[in-house]
Structure 1
Amino acid sequence: MLLKQGTGAYYTGNYRNLFMEYGYKNEDIHARVEQTWEQLFYGDESTRIYFESGDDMGYLLDTGNIDVRTEGMSYGMMMAVQMDRKDFFDRIWKWTMTYMYMNEGENAGYFAWSCNTDGSRRSNGPAPDGEEYFALALFFASHRWGDGLAPFDYGNQARSLLHSCVHKGENNDGSPMWEPSNQLIKFIPNCDYSDPSYHLPHFYELFALWANPVDRIFWKKAADASRNYLKLSCHPVTGLAPEYAYYDGTPNDERGYGHFFSDSYRVAANIGLDSEWFGVDEWQHEEANRIQAFFAGIDPSDYRRYTIAGEPFDEKSLHPVGLLATNAMASLAAPAGPNAKESVDLLWNTPLRTGVRRYYDNCLYLFAMLALSGNFRMWMPAENHS
């Protein structure tokens, strides 16, 4: 399947190392990425978020809620494949398949989004942001390391998961994770609204190449639909997006999630990585500039909940390090922007978060370190991908 020609790494094979372009030394950059990984996966009790379980499994802990989430497990797998750590990848994937995978009921084929550390489930509902990260991490693992015996037949597992995401509900067996009528990802399968930070058009472009052939046109449409949806849901002046939004992009505040808060932070990172990988959407350059301009001059200690128009609430941000990390990652969409280097410098000069709420911040922190150093890569199959 041919894609619209862009300027990103998919077409050029070149991944920008913005840290180096902004004057940091390559050896310092490499050391910082490795150090960040080490602290999250081997560090002391104030920094680590990965823990082993038995002889051959492991999990990432949401340290604020003391549970294991598909969000964190899928993030951990993506981190591991990017760092070429098959041992960690397989441990995390085996824990996920052992405890989170649902074999029966309306959510069969999906993963329970929250479990206790002993594997018992807190919920039998899935969260699509985990499924989409699982799928792409599995494809990358298949291409980087090759497939093994189930459940380590990574490519087959990814295709099976994506089949469920698209086709559930066709036989009255639950609900799909993408709305069939508009190809937009849902917040949860049985709802009729979305979460802008779930929209990963750069993932869907790759799903359109590697999913089951019958679904590839759907995924290409999903990539286009998500890029258009982000234009609707991000504020035209501030660039801020709500946590939840209706399919027309307007904020969904029915449960208090119509403002810019924790989930929303990921939008900037997703726009940066989509631009880095594919570079097909000029709007992303201005969007990155808007988000960075809004936060320019605000001390991270004073980050807050905001309306998408930018009015602050008294409530402080729960994850200020995560927010500054994603704002830095947006620089990939506008490297010459007026606040791009300043945003990256802020990340470089900010240490990993320690303490109770470190999990979400530090996942976003490592992703930003990988992306800004040119190490958040598309692992392609051996054959020509064009």
Structure 2
Amino acid sequence: MGKLAENGAFSTNSYTNLFKEIGCTEEDVQQRLTETWEALFGEHDDTRIYYPVDDSLGYILDTGNLDVRTEGMSYGMMMAVQMDKKDIFDRLWNWTRTYMYMTEGENAGYYAWSCNPDGSKRAYGPAPDGEEYFALALFFASHRWGDGAEPYNYGVQARELLRTCLHKGESGDGQPMWNPENKLIKFVPNCGFSDPSYHLPHFYELFALWANEEDRSFWKEAAEASRAYLKLACHPVTGLAPEYAYYDGTPNNERGYGHFYSDSYRVAANIGLDYEWFRSDSWEVQEANLIQAFFADKAPEEFRRYTIDGLPLEEATLHPVGLIATNAMASLAADGPYKWSMVDKFWNTPVRTGVRRYYDNCLYFFSLLALSGTYKIWFPN
């Protein structure tokens, strides 16, 4: 991982609290975490995204599309393990296993990316960003709480899922979620392009420690490949990444997905957390500075869809709060003139209400965790 890795939280077990640097007290930060958790996982109808079912199930609702996605379920599990909310974690995982897991067809072993709230499937294909979040959330749960009876044997479940992600199709139908040649995550298993926001090298560094032994070298190479890929996909002047990109990093402009839009927001957050955990690549500092500089003079009501070279298009953003949150999370890597103003803007932005709140509030809570030093690596006991 290089010399820089010695300064990351992976090595030091010390996490940055940027809110303290802008004058917030520890009490302020803990209160915000508690209040935000309650807003998302409590019974406030204008902000909630979590809905319990019976005694042992619960789901995260995409309030804009009225479906349950592996993205949201895996995000909710990561939030729950970071907040030490085992009951919520288990409810989400139980719902995921009960309704989303596919046992037949070319995608057997993966999770259906979209279901109705009653558990019926809306799609029979998987989305790799859900699988990678499921895997790391499960590892963290295993390390923090210990394994239980199936399906709460978290570590076993994580390793089996990662094995499927890499080896699917070797002895039957289906395709792996990572390209075995270039080690890059796919947008979906049966395609030849990627989504830059799916690239989580900080996750893969940990998979390289905890996955099945025979796959660990792959995950180490995948971390290096993803860091190299992001340098290709992110524009060298604006820092903006497209939603979809080919393996050479060029935008995939099918139906406008070569632009900077909703998926793309997560790249800044991912770069910030990778730098916080591993300090593996000083390019991430430069990239965080570029993204923050691009948005420094733009008010949320001005946020648009952009070409990656910065041309504003007519379509307004669907998720202004999410973009504020991810731009702030980039401050974990940034050292430029907008580092602190982005954190301050986020601190003074409330969670989103209304129909489109799901995606914004997921990104909001991840940024809150990360900037408060609460988004931690949970190691085996």
- Whether these two folds match at TM > 0.5 is yes
State the one-letter code of the partner of 2:339: A
Q: What does residue range 44-83 of structure 1 map to in structure 2 within 5 Å?
A: 44-83=44-83
Q: Which residue of 2 aligns with 1:379?
A: 378
Q: Which residue of 1 aligns with 2:164?
A: 164
Q: CA deviation at 1:300?
A: 0.6
State percent identity of aligned pairs: 70
Q: Which whole-Å CA distance do the structure 2 matches of 1:43 and 1:197 have between them? A: 31
Q: Are 2:348 and 1:349 aligned?
A: yes
Deviations 1:117-139 (CA, angstroms, capped at 9, x unpaired): 00000000000000000000000
Q: Which residue of 2 aligns with 1:40?
A: 40
State the one-letter code of the partner of 1:114: S
Q: Which whole-Å CA distance do the structure 1 matches of 2:369 and 2:356 have between them? A: 21
Q: What does residue range 105-144 of structure 1 map to in structure 2 within 5 Å?
A: 105-144=105-144
Q: CA deviation at 1:46?
A: 0.5
Q: Which residue of 2 aligns with 1:15?
A: 15
Deviations 1:241-285 (CA, angstroms, capped at 9, x unpaired): 000000000000123200000000000000000000000100000
Q: Which residue of 1 aligns with 2:300?
A: 300
Q: Secondary structure at the match of 1:179?
A: coil
**Residue segments in structure 2 that go unaligned for 5+ positions in a row:** none
Q: Which residue of 2 aligns with 1:24?
A: 24
Q: Which whole-Å CA distance do the structure 1 matches of 2:123 and 2:53 have between them? A: 20
Q: CA deviation at 1:22?
A: 2.3
Q: Secondary structure at the match of 1:51?
A: strand
Q: Which residue of 1 aligns with 2:337?
A: 338
Deviations 1:189-228 (CA, angstroms, capped at 9, x unpaired): 0000000000000000000000000000000000000000
Q: Are 2:233 and 1:241 aligned?
A: no
Q: Which whole-Å CA distance do the structure 2 matches of 1:188 and 1:216 have between them? A: 22
Q: Which whole-Å CA distance do the structure 2 matches of 1:97 and 1:277 have between them? A: 30
Q: Secondary structure at the match of 2:52?
A: strand
Q: Which residue of 1 aligns with 2:278?
A: 278
Q: Which residue of 1 aligns with 2:101?
A: 101
Q: Which residue of 2 aligns with 1:189?
A: 189
Q: Secondary structure at the match of 2:51?
A: strand
Q: Which whole-Å CA distance do the structure 2 matches of 1:141 and 1:127 have between them? A: 22
Q: Which whole-Å CA distance do the structure 2 matches of 1:164 and 1:108 have between them? A: 9
State the one-letter code of the partner of 1:203: F
Q: Which whole-Å CA distance do the structure 1 matches of 2:104 and 2:272 have between them? A: 38
Q: Which whole-Å CA distance do the structure 2 matches of 1:14 and 1:210 have between them? A: 21
Q: Which whole-Å CA distance do the structure 2 matches of 1:173 and 1:186 have between them? A: 17
Q: CA deviation at 1:151?
A: 0.3
Number of aligned residues: 379
Q: CA deviation at 1:368?
A: 0.2
Q: Which residue of 2 aligns with 1:268?
A: 268
Q: Which residue of 2 aligns with 1:316?
A: 316
Q: Which whole-Å CA distance do the structure 2 matches of 1:258 and 1:133 have between them? A: 24
Q: Which whole-Å CA distance do the structure 2 matches of 1:367 and 1:200 have between them? A: 14
Q: Secondary structure at the match of 2:246?
A: coil
Q: Secondary structure at the match of 2:313?
A: strand
State the one-letter code of the partner of 1:216: R
Q: Secondary structure at the match of 1:178?
A: coil
Q: CA deviation at 1:104?
A: 1.0
Q: Which residue of 2 aligns with 1:87?
A: 87
Deviations 1:126-161 (CA, angstroms, capped at 9, x unpaired): 000000000000000000000000000000000000
Give RMSD over aligned pairs: 0.7
Q: CA deviation at 1:11?
A: 0.8
Q: Secondary structure at the match of 1:73?
A: helix
Deviations 1:52-100 (CA, angstroms, capped at 9, x unpaired): 1111100000000000000000000000000000000000000000000
Q: Which whole-Å CA distance do the structure 2 matches of 1:112 and 1:369 have between them? A: 29
